[in-house]
Structure 1
Amino acid sequence: MMMGNSLDRNQTSLAYRSLSILLLCAVVFTPLGLNTNSWAYQDEAAPVAGEAPPAGEAPAGEAAPAGEAPAAAPAGNGAAPPAATESFLSWMIRASGFFGLILLLISFLMVALIMANVLSIRRDNLMPPELIGAFEEKINNKDYQGAYELAKSDDSFVARVLAAGLSKLNQGYAEAVEGMQEVGEDENMAMEHKLSYLALIGAIAPMIGLMGTVYGMILSFQTIANSATSPKPSELADGISTALFTTLEGLTVAIPAMIFYSLLRNRVARFSLEVGMISESLMNRFSASSK
Structure 2
Amino acid sequence: MPVETLKSIVDYGIIGVLILMSIATFAYAIERWLYLRSVDLYRYPDRKLLELDLSRHLGTLATIGSSAPYIGLLGTVIAIILTFYVIGERKSAIQTGEIMKDLALALKATAAGLIVAIPATVFYNILMDRVDRLLTHWEIIHRSERED
TM-score, reference length from structure 1? 0.45
Cα pair 1:219 1:239 within 8 Å, conserved: no
1:223, distance to aligned residue in structure 2 (A): 1.3
Q: Give the corresponding residue for 1:158.
A: 42
Cα pair 1:96 1:245 within 8 Å, conserved: no
Structure-1 separation of matches of 2:118 and 2:93: 39
Name which of 274, 278, 289 aligns with 2:137.
274
Structure-1 separation of matches of 2:109 and 2:52: 34
Correspondence list, 1:2-151, <5 A:
96-122=11-37, 125-126=38-39
Structure-2 separation of matches of 1:187 and 1:260: 20
Structure-2 separation of matches of 1:96 and 1:234: 20
SS of the counterpart of 1:121?
A: helix
Whether 1:208 and 2:71 are equivalent positions in the alignment is yes
Equivalent position amino acid for 2:86 in 1: T
Cα pair 2:10 2:75 within 8 Å, conserved: no
Equivalent position amino acid for 1:263 in 2: I
CA 259–101 in structure 1, closer or farther in 2 if over 3 Å, else same: same
Structure-1 separation of matches of 2:42 and 2:57: 19
What 5-or-longer segments of structure 2 have no aligned partner?
A: 1-7
Structure-2 separation of matches of 1:245 and 1:113: 25
Structure-1 separation of matches of 2:21 and 2:89: 35
1:94, distance to aligned residue in structure 2 (A): 10
What 5-or-longer segments of structure 1 have no aligned partner?
A: 1-92, 127-155, 162-182, 286-291
Q: Give the corresponding residue for 1:11.
A: none
Equivalent position amino acid for 2:18 in 1: L
TM-score, reference length from structure 2? 0.84
User: Which protein is bigger by CA-based radius of gyration?
Assistant: 1
Cα pair 1:96 1:242 within 8 Å, conserved: no
Instruction: Determine which structure has the larger helix proportion and give its number.
Output: 2
1:239, distance to aligned residue in structure 2 (A): 3.6
User: For each residue in 1:251-276, what CA deviation from the matched residue of structure 2 results, as whole angstroms up to 9, or x when unmatched?
Assistant: 00001100110111011011111111
Off by >3 Å, runs of 4+ in structure 1: 93-96
Give the count of matched residue pairs. 141
Identity %: 30
Higher relative contact order (Cα pairs below 8 Å, separated by 6+ residues): 2
Cα pair 1:209 1:249 within 8 Å, conserved: yes
